[in-house]
Structure 1
Amino acid sequence: MTGETEGLDLRNFGSGVVIVLAGAVLGLAAVVLTARRGMTEWPAALTFGGLIAVGEMVQFRVDRTRNRAPIATSAALGYCLLRGPEVAVPPDVAQIIAVTAVATAAGVLPRVVAGLAWDAVVSSRRLLSVGAAAAVFAAIAPTDLSWNGSWRHALPLCGAMILAVLSAAVLDAIVGAGQSTERHNKPFPAALRDEFGVMGRIGMAMAISGILLASGTSLAGLWAPPLVLVPLLLTQFAFRRYSSAQRTYRTTVRSMARSTEIAGFSSPGQNARTASLAVAIGNDLGLTPARMEALEYAALLSGVGQLALADPSPGGASLLRSREERQQAAEIGASIIERSGVLDHVAEIVRHSNDPYRQGRASNPDIPVESGIVNVSLAYEQLVGEGSGQTPGKAMENIGLGIGAEYDPVVVESLRRVVGRGFRF
């Protein structure tokens, strides 16, 4: 399932239900508490709440796993960090959470009416992270902000801002890693590594924008948000361009993969099934997102070299061909992929995807493990896929006979775990 779907995005649900409920309870409690205490600094609340709502309305899917709303996240963090001469009464933790919750709901409503995709889990995660940042900042931020002429005086406040943002990032990364472990059976340390990698690329831009929003508003008043909004919009534009490029890239690869099915060199859906199994194994082995993407593309394109062979394999069963024919097809496929100029790593995976383990990776560690994953995935698909007739147990038995000679033992063991968890094409 790729791209945006209409309505509520349910793919994160499972532990996601707990996250949504936690966010809803936290937001509702904050709204009730703030209503009893009364709001402070209404102009700032309306300004930052408006930014959060707009950011939520224009959220988008950037990495196939979650929606992104950089404007909403930056504005929410900025509202957390308000403290300075232009902020007479800084908002307390409950008010920060309440404004974020109400603004998020206001931003989501137009998407619901329009039937656009929205991710309740991601919105709830943002609310929980903002709550953590607000609590940390309230606990450690200095209250005496009188200027004494020295820049050193600002260091404690800057330090408090950075620690608050880091607390939000760490909480969100832990929650995200837990979800990835649940949904994709990825080892938690690897999932946490991936989350911090995303934080380093995308989260840092949102955190810096939030700090700039807070600092500018605290020093210059509500004249600052419109000025800081320009780099925020540029960040949003850059993220959307990246997301669009990813979708185009993926569509192109899938179109190339379908060429073998159209020509009769692979059975309908064979490449997609092989890729889905390869991705499941890659997740089990804890590969990085960049390697996972290359693995998926390599699995999709692993049969493209067969187009150079004289005749299709019966039913797309390339395993029925001789070793020489399969390796020739892999080499031709790698050469075709290399001509794109942007899929070199994918080409290397495909080039070795038919190498026997004993003559390949066992003696040459430079051969990527992804090649062994594609080899095993294709073998399992051809044994279990549509029209093959073998049960998963029988297929595992046949593949097990080739452990250490034809197939990488590490990959086969991962396949056992994936199949044992009930993987189905």
Structure 2
Amino acid sequence: MTGGVRGAGVVHATAAGLLAVALAAVALRGIVEPGVALAFTALIALGECVRITLPGDREQAPIGAAGALAYALLGPLRGLPTAHGTVQVVAVTGTGLLLAWLPGLALIRRTSRRPHRRPPWADPARRDSAARRLLGVGFAAAVFQPLYNGALVDRFSPQGPAYGVFLTAVAALAALCDASLAALLRCSATGLCFPAALEDELRSLFGIGSAIVATGMLVSLAAGEVGLWALPLFCTPLLLAQVSFRRAAAVRATTGQTIASLARATEVAGYTPHGHARRVADTACALGRELGLGTPELALLEYAALMHDVGQLSLVEPVPDGATALLPCAEQRRIARLGSEVISRTGVPRQVAEQVARLADPCAGPAGGDGSVALAARIIRVANAHDDLLTAARGRGVGEAVGRLQALEVLRLGRGRVYDARVVDALARVGGQGRG
């Protein structure tokens, strides 16, 4: 984790140094085409002020990102060549990011009674996003602007297909650069291995990321014909897409509240120990990350882990300490089936109910059906058994460290027969710390 923090520090320091150099250079030589620079600065700042939260708790500013990419790829404007260059692109993007923090500062001052609110520069996610934006846009500008200003792009017409292919290639490289930086910063924050984090970030490009890249390219192309009117013309659809994402986020929040209520029901009714569902979910997510699950799979895994004991509400007498892992297999399967039936009526994704239904499946041999569902169920089974065994050890007065060793030894005895061997090995690597 120390190496990860150091890696994030390098990214932040590089972005800050690049912005300082760019601002100093622009201050010395002056602003080229100040009206155009001001328009893109305003667009980037506005886009940063209307951010959205994507699945996996990712914050994104689609309009700001598209505006910055469009300025980096801006060639002709109303048929006339531009000459702002790479340094000014970085300066304009950085200025827009800094200006976006001012409304946040004013809002914080007006709501000073809410101590949990922090200024944008104190938010690690906002700092990561700003660093990624500067470095990604700087990379795109460094590829495009020298070729454009050096007249190498003049070999093909800005109205021809070759120019569009060139812009697409540069935009794709910029998107890959941004995804790599996002994966590196995510590894620094969570300890996830870089290949798994990069795969997850590349998957997200097919969502809002592709819309951002497409909008940035369209703005840069359309500006060659209609000038700065291309900014509101092509950014409005992206704004409407943000509204749809916000509605989807509201639906996810409602689902989360439903899941939290069901998870607490077993604790309130006295069927499971306090905090058991949360501990199992944290351990399951840690194991899922160790096994390379992406953000969508981890979200479903967390939901199923939180609700894995709902079936116990059907029991006449609670299981001692809620330790279903110590029950006969037939009883475990019955509880899992009943829990799945309850979950399927709550409106949560069907994969969650399927994962809970398969919690007591035998682990000998290959998984049948949906492999991702089977793996998630096996992860939850190990995480649940681990917490049940730890709870039993505490009841016997065994110390925490000794209890973890004993629990891991019991799980290893059932490795490949009762519990999935890959999951047990992953638990040994993460130490059962339950990192959420």
Structure 2 partner of 1:29 = 21
1:89 to 77, 82, 86: 82
1:193 to 192, 199, 215: 199
1:56 is displaced (CA, Å) by 1.1
Contact 1:30 1:95 in 2 (8 A): yes
1:108-131 CA distance string (max 9 Å, x none)? 222234235641111111111000
Structure 2 partner of 1:212 = 218
1:270-318 CA distance string (max 9 Å, x none)? 1111001101101111123222222111111100011001111222222
Contact 1:376 1:407 in 2 (8 A): yes
More deviation in 127-136 or 363-372?
A: 363-372
1:406 is displaced (CA, Å) by 1.2
More deviation in 18-27 or 47-56?
A: 18-27
Structure 2 partner of 1:123 = 130
Letter of the 1:108 partner, please give it: W
TM-score by length of structure 1 reads: 0.89
1:75-102 CA distance string (max 9 Å, x none)? 1011111111525433100000001001
SS at match of 1:51: helix
1:317 to 317, 320, 323: 323
1:424 is displaced (CA, Å) by 6.1
1:192 is displaced (CA, Å) by 1.4
Contact 1:313 1:320 in 2 (8 A): no
Structure 2 partner of 1:156 = 162
1:392 to 404, 409, 416: 404
> 2 CA distance for matches of 1:331 and 1:289?
26
Structure 1 partner of 2:360 = 354
Change over 3 Å in CA distance of 1:145–1:406 after alignment to 2: closer
Point out the structure with the larger helix share: 2
> 1 CA distance for matches of 2:128 and 2:195?
21
Structure 1 partner of 2:123 = none
Change over 3 Å in CA distance of 1:16–1:105 after alignment to 2: same
The aligned runs of 1:351-390 (5 Å cut-off) are: 351-358=357-364, 362=366, 364=368, 366=370, 368-385=374-391, 387-388=394-395, 389=398, 390=400
Contact 1:61 1:243 in 2 (8 A): yes
Letter of the 1:236 partner, please give it: Q
Contact 1:132 1:164 in 2 (8 A): no
Change over 3 Å in CA distance of 1:271–1:392 after alignment to 2: same
| 1:409 aligned onto 2:421 | yes
Letter of the 1:276 partner, please give it: D
> 2 CA distance for matches of 1:111 and 1:363?
50
1:139-178 CA distance string (max 9 Å, x none)? 4448388899xx7952332123212211211111112222
Change over 3 Å in CA distance of 1:424–1:127 after alignment to 2: closer
Change over 3 Å in CA distance of 1:239–1:15 after alignment to 2: farther
1:408 is displaced (CA, Å) by 0.7
Letter of the 2:92 partner, please give it: V
Letter of the 1:52 partner, please give it: I
Identity percentage of aligned residues = 34
1:14 is displaced (CA, Å) by 5.5
Change over 3 Å in CA distance of 1:205–1:298 after alignment to 2: same
Contact 2:65 2:133 in 1 (8 A): yes
Structure 1 partner of 2:111 = none
